[in-house]
Structure 1
Amino acid sequence: MGDIIQQGTYRKITVTVPDAPTEEPMPASMNFYVDSRFTTAQVTRLREMIAGVLAFWREHQEQINNGEISRYASCVNKYARFNLAPVWFSDRLANGRAAADVQMAGFTTQIQANGFNRAARAYIKYQEPTGQNFTIRGLNASNLETNSLSVTVNPKALSNSTASTLMLTGSLFHAWLHRGGYRHPAGRYTSYFAGEASMCIMRGNLNKAPGVPASTYTKWLD
């Protein structure tokens, strides 16, 4: 899945960008600088999570290219109602499907900006909670071409055997939505694009199951 290069207190890792039908050339890989305090097993899980987000992106691109409504867009369309557009998008979006298409197009730009070194370096920072617990945090940003995909990760979450890699992939996806200009009221995820899109990822784009509380998913979102 790529190489590891030691550099100061961070290790550079590369993650392969899967082939996908896009209008513009894509980089062969993405670059991340991972805090050296993460264990080998934790870095492996981080790689799996990044690769997981890229796999959902590829599936969306392939289904759109085939003239279909992607499974991701269909899922988001069922549940997302509020804050459908990122802060940099001026037009009104009619529904969750349109919002999903805009978001994945924006993520294509973020992949290019990272892989072609147009954006700032993406750091995966290490932080054990000292107060309120968290999983993965991404500070609010909005410039897809220059802002990095940097996030802060709770290492205990990566070692939590009760947290599936799919759940953590959705948590990373959510942090990157914040980096891409998406917002929601603090602690509120249901019906908001940033929350529902991330929960769709956590469910593998399946419908919500009766009797399963939203907290099953939102406890992994920050």
Structure 2
Amino acid sequence: MPFNFRKTLIVMELIFQDVLKTNFVIPLYPTTFRETIIPVPTPLGVTDLPPNIYFDLDNRFNVEQEQRIRDAISETMLVWATHMNEKWNGGTNTGISQMAACINIYATQNLRPAWYSESPIQNGLTATNIAMDQFTQLIRDNGFRRSPRAKIFAAPLNNNTIVFALTAFTQNFVPLSFIVDPTLIDIATLNFITGSMMHSWLHCAGFFDPNTTSYFNTECSMCVMRGFRPKNPDMPDNLYYQFFD
């Protein structure tokens, strides 16, 4: 596999941004940005949400690519909001969402985010609830400008990866920054882009790989790509997770 110099420079910049929790990072991969603003849905039972989240979008993306990225982010937040609505369950907050039910069948490994230090997580259902609560934190920190400005870089990625993000080791003030392959964003369907975006957000929420069957991040993202339907033997898992970082 050839060395991906541009990706390496961006990853170094993202590491500095995440570790230092600052917007003032020397640009190792010089580019210019424009701001894109995406409305935040308001699920039942979730308060103190910002009206929007904000991203600095690499000007190398054209208007059509920007819209596809915006659509994938909006779809990712819709998955989060739908889970929270279904879990709210008329105010009991004990419901099991379609997503959680799907993940609970398949995810058995890497259920704990990097920052988690409480009692062991026993199943995919609990891991899903923790992950979606962390999405709430990511959205709040971004929308209220508590975390460093989220940057979306345009750069080629390895293999068929559509979106790449670092795995966060902290729970608060995590920048929702990532890299998007501009070539793949042009040709992939929204379903696969959203799955890759979901996978990257789960990295930002603290969940590790590897990308293979039974691991939480992978199974969660694949459930989203399948519309929470059961697995189909005619569509092997690697058909989906080839698009993950």
Q: Under a length normalisation based on structure 1, what TM-score does the superposition of the two structures give?
A: 0.90
What are the ranges of 5 or more consecutive residues in structure 2 without an aligned counterpart?
1-30
Distance in 1 separating the partners of 2:150 and 2:45: 23
Kept after mapping to 1: 8 A contact 2:160/2:184: no
2:238, 2:115 → 1: CA distance? 29
1:46 to 61, 69, 75: 69
How far residue 216 of structure 1 moved from its aligned partner, in angstroms, is: 1.3
- Paired-residue identity, %: 36
Runs of 4+ in 1 over 3 A off after TM superposition: none
Correspondence for 2:13:
none
Q: Map 1:60-71 to 2 at 5 A.
A: 60-66=83-89, 67-71=94-98
Aligned to 1:143: 170
Q: Secondary structure at the match of 2:233?
A: coil
Q: 1:85 corresponds to which residue?
A: 112
Which one of 100, 112, 116 corresponds to residue 73 of structure 1? 100
CA contact (8 A) 2:114 2:168 kept: no
Q: Is the 8 A contact 2:114 2:170 kept in 1?
A: no
1:210 shift after superposition: 2.3
CA distance in 2 between counterparts of 1:119 and 1:135 reads 24
Cα distance in 1 between the residues matched to 2:46 and 2:142: 17
Compared with structure 1, are the counterparts of its residues 142 and 196 closer, same or farther at alpha carbon in structure 2 (3 Å cutoff)? same
**Higher percent of residues as helix:** 2
CA shift, 1:189, in A, is: 2.1
Q: What letter is aligned with 1:99?
A: A
Count, aligned residues: 210
Matched, 1:194 2:217: yes
| Structure 2 residue matching 1:159: 3-state secondary structure | helix
Of residues 173, 180, 191, the one that matches 1:166 is 191
Q: Which whole-Å CA distance do the structure 1 matches of 2:116 and 2:205 have between them?
A: 11
- Give the counterpart letter for 2:189 in structure 1: S
Structure 1 residue 132, shift from structure 2 partner:
4.5
Q: Which amino acid aligns with 1:153?
A: V
2-structure distance, mates of 1:133, 1:47: 20
Q: Output the CA distance in 2 between the equivalents of 1:70 and 1:132.
A: 33
Aligned partner letter, 1:46: I
Change (3 A) 1:24 1:43: same
Contact 1:113-1:144 at 8 Å conserved across structures: no
Question: For 1:77-119, what per-residue CA distance to the aligned partner results, in whole angstroms no more than 9, with x for missing partners?
Answer: 0100001010111221111001100100111011000000111
Do 2:57 and 2:151's aligned partners in 1 also have CA atoms closer than 8 Å? Answer: yes
